[in-house]
Amino acid sequence: MTATVASNDRGSAIASEGKQPRTARGQRTLRAILDAAAAEFGEKGFHDGSISGITRRAGVALGSFYTYFDSKDAVFRALVRDMSDQVREHVAPSIRAAPEQIAAERAGLQTFIEFVRDHKEIYRIIDEAEFVDPDSFRTHYTTTADRIAARLKAAAGRGEIRADVDEVHAWAIMGMNVFLGLRYGVWEADRTPQAVADTVAAMLARGLAAD
The structure's pTM equals 0.89
Domains 8-74 and 76-207 share a fold: no
Task: Summarize pLDDT for 180-206 with one digit per residue, the tens.
Answer: 999 999 999 999 999 999 999 999 999
Write the pLDDT tens digit of every residue in 76-119: 999 999 999 999 999 999 999 999 999 999 999 999 999 999 99
CATH number of 76-207: 1.10.357.10
Q: Decide: 170 and 105 in contact? Cβ < 8 Å.
A: no
pLDDT in tens, 22-78: 999 999 999 999 999 999 999 999 999 999 999 999 999 999 999 999 999 999 999
pLDDT confidence band for 13 (50 / 70 / 90): low
Contacts (Cβ under 8 Å, ≥6 apart) of 36: 2, 54, 55, 56, 57, 58
CATH superfamily of 8-74: Homeodomain-like (1.10.10.60)
Residue 209's pLDDT is what?
A: 86
Given phi > 0 = left and psi -120 to 50 = alpha, else beta, which region is 40? Answer: alpha
- Report the alpha-carbon angle 161-180-155, nearest 5: 15
Q: Where are the domains of the chain?
A: 8-74, 76-207
The closest alpha carbon to 108, from 117, 118, 97, belongs to 97
- Amino acid 41: pLDDT: 97
